[in-house]
Structure 1
């Protein structure tokens, strides 16, 4: 038995929903399909439906932009990505071929082009043997033959068990062993959004299909080029922005229709509702969002699935004070940091932003990100400047650009990047993620369908995976319509 939140978090925009069931039912707009969410999954679903002749649809997006966790920011000629940034895996990734065909694939920067250094938090040169050990283990613990041995445990156990031996093999300094182990955990947590690398089921991690970390490609003019590509086949009148869905009545009458209600009181009566909301939002709001309550099996699946958190901090200057076009500063902590600045321990590296040699970026994962989000923006910037000064021994000029993301504070996300299945969940009801993609049916008709990165069994946490799930669920509807109506 798993515990569910007894009531939604107070102060949510949906707490002020306009209207009542009678008015929603009476004024409902008829649609064949309502797609909830305009991220990569929702856009791919709507595009697939329309391309296959299902045109009477509505796509409802809660926020004032499309893309979800694909969010490109432009300011004074500077381009940064709040969310998705890279195309991992080269030609194995469908996005690589798409970007190449569109002529917007950015040239790859090889690792050898980066000016690399490793420092302690006080500016002392760190032992590079620690980095070598971490990099080796990052590859070893991704192998199926290795990770499968840890199926009943947390993902991080593989790294923790093997680190001491690998560090000794690389002749690392004993005094830095704990610091480099923390560095490795932050490396893993940066890519997963975990609070603790023991939280994710190793069985869940083992299902992920990795196409190679050594191939990092990017969109030359921003990841939102993908959003524009997915959107172009969707008629403008189909999409409603700033239209958060606050109620879904999914057992309406003998026909098994779904009544979907937005925060402003606009309602839709549909044969199918395709839900692409983030799992963080679904977990927080399911009790108030769905009537009747979701089936127990689906609620159990949600209960053991979490949305990780990986925020970004980005700083830019009119000219680079580090003097290199490609810069990689790795940081280990030989001493603890207490108090307001403790969030800095989540940072394991600063990298120049691709094609912008005057800008640096760092990831902040899990609990450290939540601490960072709770601080005023000016305080976060001040912490970063003094931290960089301590680590590099340089006088850091005032940046001309600063941005930090706050994905946890976003009520429609409640996290970012990677979803994961807990160790308990991976050992019991969620040995794969298939339960998260199980449609809710009435008399054989799929009335609630689920898409989004968290519903992909092998490419969760990726944009291509999210797109795959949107198309997958759209074809379930198309197949049902073909079988029912011919």
Structure 2
């Protein structure tokens, strides 16, 4: 039996050293690339995956919920739009439309509800701000917001001190929402009028407790069980340390476990955060100057999601999400009332905990969000420390209306401190706005060896020109890289 096992392992080892194609990363873009290769009858490939699991920035966690259970997403969660969305097209019969009958409730740090109409007015202002600057000179989210907000919302309420104060305090919450939406630490770096294009239709389609992992299952079984991707070699915990790409013959890949793999072509799908940190060490020879500049200029930071499960549901059925607005006095008191945890420029980490969503398909779960430059430090806190801090904020805002209990399960994301990701998703920066070539084009440009052969192809959401920062953009980028490789192989 041991001899048989050794033979199998030896065969796999040999297989890993002589592949036509190696796909680095088994996330949405890597899996999509593989399915497109299979579709074109190319099956001579393997995966090298740095994590111990499949999915990349799709990571669904199973939780018991009463007598049953379901999945909550620590990474990608919602499907944004229907028209022209490859995720929707493949999953339309599996998705649930957003809860249109539910409401967003906004609370002040004194525990009182903010007037519904005032909250709605400000949130709609923020949502439609981009439309006002479409086609105009590049401008940051911070500059655009403050310019218009001062002349409209604040000007409107200058004779109403109570509303003026709340509208002023709401600015920081809007800043947090911008940072959450773009995964950015600093909203002054976010390019408001970027190249992103929304797919028309419901922007809040969800998996109703199945988790985004269900999409990966659908994608892997696209051609029937006999071709499901789980039959193909995926080598887990194989962190790529070096790609030698400009030699005659095969591309050579060296991993952290001192293994060497060879291939004719590589499809490289890790995040641009990995490239930002490691591109100089990863590629030999170094990447071309245009790609290096694009890596430096693209935005890629992080936001932190926290899954909170309670023994009993204490909120109303009609609530979709809670938004928190700190008044300046309460925000200044945090350091005295709750001294533990990181601070920056006098502000506590707890002031960036600004929103909680109900979890689709899960009756006792809320999903909270931290944003901003303290996220890397918050990720390093112990679970108990995060739980205590979050419970403090929730009680402060919601304790007067609800019988808030302590969550008994707390699962925080660690996308930034995880060296295999170093963040959540890309965004266009103001710095990248005036390029002669769109930044995603340089990021997605393949590496050609001395003979002009495309030997390293790039995929990932950061390489998609109009759907960056989305799972459907990641999927399309995987298709695009595979199509380019298929075209070359067919022309040989």
TM bin (shorter chain): 0.7 to 0.9
**What corresponds to 1:225 in structure 2?**
214
**Pairwise CA distance, 1:430:** 5.4
- How far apart are the structure 2 equivalents of 1:249 and 1:434? 22
Residues 81 and 222 in structure 1, CA contact (< 8 A), matched pair in contact too? yes
Normalising by structure 1, report the TM-score: 0.86
Structure 1 residues 299, 325: closer, same or farther in 2, change over 3 A? same
Structure 1 residues 70, 28: closer, same or farther in 2, change over 3 A? closer
Describe how 1:222-371 pairs up with structure 2 within 5 A: 222-232=211-221, 233-234=228-229, 236-253=231-248, 255=249, 257-324=250-317, 326-335=319-328, 336=331, 337-338=334-335, 340=340, 342-371=348-377
Task: Say whether residues 1:462 and 2:462 are aligned partners.
Answer: no
Task: Say whether residues 1:184 and 2:174 are aligned partners.
Answer: yes
For residue 292 of structure 2, give the secondary structure of its aligned residue in structure 1.
Answer: helix
- How far apart are the structure 2 equivalents of 1:157 and 1:407? 28
For residue 169 of structure 2, give the secondary structure of its aligned residue in structure 1.
Answer: helix
Structure 1 stretches of at least 4 aligned residues deviating more than 6 Å after TM superposition:
none
**Pairwise CA distance, 1:107:** 4.5
Residues 432 and 439 in structure 2, CA contact (< 8 A), matched pair in contact too? no
- How far apart are the structure 2 equivalents of 1:105 and 1:431? 33
Residues 150 and 158 in structure 1, CA contact (< 8 A), matched pair in contact too? no
**Pairwise CA distance, 1:213:** 8.1
Describe how 1:28-427 pairs up with structure 2 within 5 A: 29-76=17-64, 77-100=69-92, 103-110=93-100, 112-114=101-103, 116-143=104-131, 146-151=133-138, 153-168=139-154, 171=157, 173-202=163-192, 205-211=193-199, 215-220=203-208, 221-232=210-221, 233-234=228-229, 236-253=231-248, 255=249, 257-324=250-317, 326-335=319-328, 336=331, 337-338=334-335, 340=340, 342-394=348-400, 395-416=403-424, 418-427=425-434
Residues 310 and 407 in structure 2, CA contact (< 8 A), matched pair in contact too? yes
- How far apart are the structure 1 equivalents of 2:108 and 2:318? 23
**Pairwise CA distance, 1:277:** 0.6
**What corresponds to 2:345 in structure 1?**
none
Residues 86 and 475 in structure 2, CA contact (< 8 A), matched pair in contact too? no
Normalising by structure 2, report the TM-score: 0.85
What is the alpha-carbon root mean square deviation over aligned residues?
2.3
**Pairwise CA distance, 1:348:** 2.5
For residue 372 of structure 1, give the secondary structure of its aligned residue in structure 2.
Answer: helix
Structure 1 residues 430, 307: closer, same or farther in 2, change over 3 A? farther
**Pairwise CA distance, 1:195:** 1.3
**What corresponds to 1:433 in structure 2?**
440
Residues 154 and 201 in structure 1, CA contact (< 8 A), matched pair in contact too? yes
- How far apart are the structure 2 equivalents of 1:326 and 1:176? 22
**Pairwise CA distance, 1:93:** 2.1
**What corresponds to 1:23 in structure 2?**
none
**Pairwise CA distance, 1:150:** 3.9
Structure 1 residues 437, 409: closer, same or farther in 2, change over 3 A? same
Residues 154 and 168 in structure 2, CA contact (< 8 A), matched pair in contact too? no
**Pairwise CA distance, 1:219:** 1.6
**Pairwise CA distance, 1:129:** 4.7
Residues 326 and 357 in structure 1, CA contact (< 8 A), matched pair in contact too? no
Residues 247 and 289 in structure 1, CA contact (< 8 A), matched pair in contact too? yes
38-47 vs 242-251, which deviates more?
A: 242-251
For residue 348 of structure 1, give the secondary structure of its aligned residue in structure 2.
Answer: strand
For residue 468 of structure 1, give the secondary structure of its aligned residue in structure 2.
Answer: helix
**Pairwise CA distance, 1:109:** 1.3
- How far apart are the structure 1 equivalents of 2:116 and 2:419? 41
- How far apart are the structure 1 equivalents of 2:258 and 2:42? 25
Unaligned runs of 5+ in 1: 1-25
**Pairwise CA distance, 1:421:** 3.1
Residues 41 and 467 in structure 1, CA contact (< 8 A), matched pair in contact too? yes
